[in-house]
Chain A
Amino acid sequence: MNIWLVMLAGGLLTFGMRFSLIFLFGRFEVPETMRKALHYVPPAVLSAIIFPELLYPSGDLNLSLGNTRLLAGIIAMLVAWYSKNTLLTILAGMAALLILQLI
């Protein structure tokens, strides 16, 4: 994989989407279904990354108490829910992981 090619293609696509309707104004409208669907992009994509990260810490399903990443992740979820603070969530999750790994 060439990181520069990936960045260039990703950047061009991103610019293209930002430019698209400013450029095409009046010639195209965003369909209602797509408007709705876009709301669900962040939770869907991010959950699709989070779940395997927590449940398959070393490539296999690990539901035991020895899975420190899962436990730290759950703690982070609680902190995120109650604090709605990004930095605090990351710090709490990292601290939890470091402490759990020591136990």
Chain B
Amino acid sequence: MSESRSAFWNGVRAEIPLLIGVFPFGMIYGALALNADISTLASQLMSSIVFAGSSQFVAAQLVHDAAPGFVIVLTIAVVNLRHMLYSASLAPYLKDLSLKWKTLLSYLLTDEAYAPSILKYEDEGITPVSHWFLFGAGISLWSTWQISTALGIFLGAAIPEKWPLDFALPLTFIAMVVPALKNRPMIAAALSAGLVALLAYGLPFKLGLILAALAGITVGTMLESRKSSRGML
């Protein structure tokens, strides 16, 4: 039992630097969800029902823009597709666990819980207690996300209404995208998605967003394949 406890706390410790980065994000999400006219209760519960940062930001933006429900759901799914990769990558390390554990750890499987855990497992292999590490990382992130959301909702309610707080959402997205534009396929993906979004802006149901995302993903993937088939870096 003490071995599982120490694995748990190792997971929590490995997660701490990430928690510091996540905390302001949770607060911003809380404040913005409220600003997008999502009720206090729904804003808070989205953090445990969806529990995936960037998709929650995107959902808040789309609610603010009065997009229809199915477009919001579809967009959440597209933004969170990458979790399938994490699921695939951790699967061999979790294969002997009970269904209960698999379910719990899947629920807690975020970018921030995945990163330290996969490093740990690839580095040191697994032991019968190593799932406690992922649990420690995941549950500490989960708690931090709930608390920071609540704090953001609380503080957000105090911000004067005439402040252009809705602009903080696109700014958050800029902060996420721009540092990732390190190579040509990435830049091309971003630009082509942006351009299609402008051209298809008039489409009903905000379908332009989905179309633009697909265009960007296609362009990026094709450029990357062409580059690698030419045998370059």
- The residues of A with any CB-CB pair to B shorter than 8 Å are 1-11, 13-15, 17-26, 29-30, 33, 35-56, 61, 69, 72-73, 76-77, 80-81, 84-87, 89-90, 93-94, 97-98, 101
**Which residues of the other chain, A, contact B21 by a CB distance below 8 angstroms?**
86
Query: Would you call A48 and B212 a contact (CB within 8 A)?
Result: yes
**What separation, in Å, do the CA atoms of A2 and B55 have in the docked complex?**
17
Query: Would you call B84 and A53 a contact (CB within 8 A)?
Result: no
Query: Would you call A44 and B171 a contact (CB within 8 A)?
Result: no
Q: List 24 A-B contacts (CB under 8 A).
A: A18-B87, A19-B107, A20-B87, A23-B102, A26-B91, A29-B88, A38-B81, A38-B82, A43-B181, A44-B190, A44-B193, A44-B212, A44-B214, A45-B79, A46-B177, A47-B177, A48-B193, A50-B174, A76-B171, A77-B178, A80-B178, A85-B175, A89-B175, A93-B174
**Which residues of the other chain, A, contact B106 by a CB distance below 8 angstroms?**
15, 18-19, 22-23
- The residues of B with any CB-CB pair to A shorter than 8 Å are 21, 24-25, 28, 38-39, 42, 45-46, 49-52, 54-55, 58-59, 61, 63, 66-69, 72-73, 75-88, 90-92, 94-95, 102-103, 105-107, 109, 163-164, 167-181, 185-186, 189-198, 201, 208-209, 212-221, 224-225
- Classify the interface of chain B: helix, strand, loop or mixed: helix
Q: Which of B49, B84, B197 contacts A30 (CB 8 A)?
A: B84
A40 with B217, Cβ < 8 A, contacts A5-B69, A22-B94 known: yes
Beyond the given A45-B209, A46-B176, please list 7 additional residue pairs across the A-B interface where CB-CB is below 8 A.
Answer: A1-B68, A18-B83, A41-B81, A48-B212, A51-B195, A85-B175, A90-B28
Query: Would you call B170 and A42 a contact (CB within 8 A)?
Result: no
A47 with B167, Cβ < 8 A, contacts A21-B84, A22-B91 known: no
Q: Which of B38, B85, B90, B220 contacts A44 (CB 8 A)?
A: B220
Query: Would you call B174 and A77 a contact (CB within 8 A)?
Result: yes
**What separation, in Å, do the CA atoms of A7 and B109 have in the docked complex?**
18
- Classify the interface of chain A: helix, strand, loop or mixed: helix
A3 with B42, Cβ < 8 A, contacts A40-B185, A47-B197, A73-B170 known: yes
**Which residues of the other chain, A, contact B73 by a CB distance below 8 angstroms?**
6, 9-10, 13
Of the candidates A1, A36, A38, A42, the one having the most CB atoms from chain B within 10 angstroms of its own CB is A42
Query: How many inter-chain residue pairs (CB < 8 Å) link A and B?
Result: 264
A10 with B83, Cβ < 8 A, contacts A3-B38, A94-B168 known: no
Query: Would you call A94 and B174 a contact (CB within 8 A)?
Result: no
A50 with B177, Cβ < 8 A, contacts A10-B73, A14-B80, A72-B167 known: yes
